[in-house]
Amino acid sequence: MAQDSPTIGHKHQRLRRLRQSEALRAMVAEVELNKADLICPIFVSEINSQRTPIASLPGVERIPLAELADEAKRISALGLKSVLLFPVVDPAKKTNDGREAYNPNGLIQQAIACVRHAAPELVVMADVALDPFTTHGHDGILSSDGTILNDETVDALVKMSLTLASAGVHFVAPSDMMDGRVCAIRQALDFAKHEQVSLLAYSAKYASAFYGPFREALGSGARGLDKKTYQLNYTNIREALLEAEFDEAEGADMIMVKPGLCYLDILCRIRARTQKPLVMYHVSGEYAMLKAAVEKTWLDEKPAVLETLTSMKRAGADLIVTYYAQWAAKNLF
């Protein structure tokens, strides 16, 4: 008989009751996006004398060093807490081994000092990898047989990290995916009395089709550049868990998953295994997809961006690197 059915009780359950009003929905919201969650990437350029748009990243510009102080102040005034710096390097300075990366007076080192001075309240992060500085656009040193040399690259990343620390960076963020780099960088920083400099590890960074606009912004290599011998294969989950586990054990203060939307499952699983803060990188191609659809009036920008970024929080991200940071600070809160 119907009354005896074990499903009968569900008929008294009306989950829609708690969805009735804006106020109720806000009261039972399980996650909330905040300005402090957003990390704002900045492309600092030594090849542009003025702020220069990036075609595939509408709304994002290459910022000359002379404009960086103003940019940092503007970002801070919007209520954002942190920036992640990337250098757009003069092609004449690029080499096979990317040695410009550890020039103590290089662009990125100057940029760090500039932001620290202009907006002392901001948390300053800098990417650690060789791709902005190599002629071939790879994140590591390319040997004559076409392989990317792991340990030689790690040595260069250590040198780079030390110059970033001396320039005043708060976080070094290795994005290269060489083995053992977190341990090597942590040890070298501590030995040099930079024990207060934190480490944000790009732990689960996948070889992705969604980095194209970023590479255009940096001028770092051809579109189809193949980084599959060091970045993760998108078929894999367990390997990402190992990367995160190793990076945490090696001393990472925060763990990053990259890209974002196609990798929410990865972030969610890492969330279950670590107590460290987790960061998701909403990458250039994901930003470009949204912007392109909005330009065509196929999507409504505010709700689409809010839903996208909130989904990353729901998956377990504490922080999100996004090219939408400034726009979101102005439009979503």
Where on the chain is the footprint of ligand PBG (CB under 6 A)?
Answer: 127, 129, 131, 139, 175-176, 211, 214-215, 227, 283-284
The distance of closest approach from Cβ of residue 300 to ligand PBG in the complex, given in angstroms and rounded to an integer, is 23
What b/e readout covers 139-154, taking b as 16+ CB neighbours within 10 angstroms?
A: bbbbeeeeebbbeebb
The least CB distance from residue 213 to ligand PBG, in Å, is 7
> Is 258 marked active-site?
yes
**d(Cα 107, Cα 14) in Å, to the nearest integer?**
59
Q: Which of 81, 93, 227, 258 is catalytic?
A: 258
Q: Which is nearer to ligand PBG, 22 or 136 (CB)?
A: 136
* Backbone torsions φ then ψ of 170, nearest 5 degrees: -90, -40
Q: Which of 81, 205, 291, 313 is catalytic?
A: 205
- Comparing CB distances to ligand PBG, the nearer of 56 and 198 is 56
Helices (H), the chain: 22-27, 65-77, 107-118, 150-167, 181-191, 212-218, 238-250, 264-271, 284-295, 301-315, 325-331
Q: Are 319 and 281 in contact (CB under 8 A)?
A: no
CB of 228 to ligand PBG, least distance (A): 11
**Nearest one of 115, 225, 125 to 174, comparing CA atoms:** 125
- Whichever of 176 and 250 has its CB closer to ligand PBG, that residue is 176
Q: How far is Cα 16 from Cα 74, in angstroms, rounded to an integer?
A: 42
Give the nearer residue to ligand PBG in terms of CB position, either 175 or 308: 175
Active-site positions read 205, 258
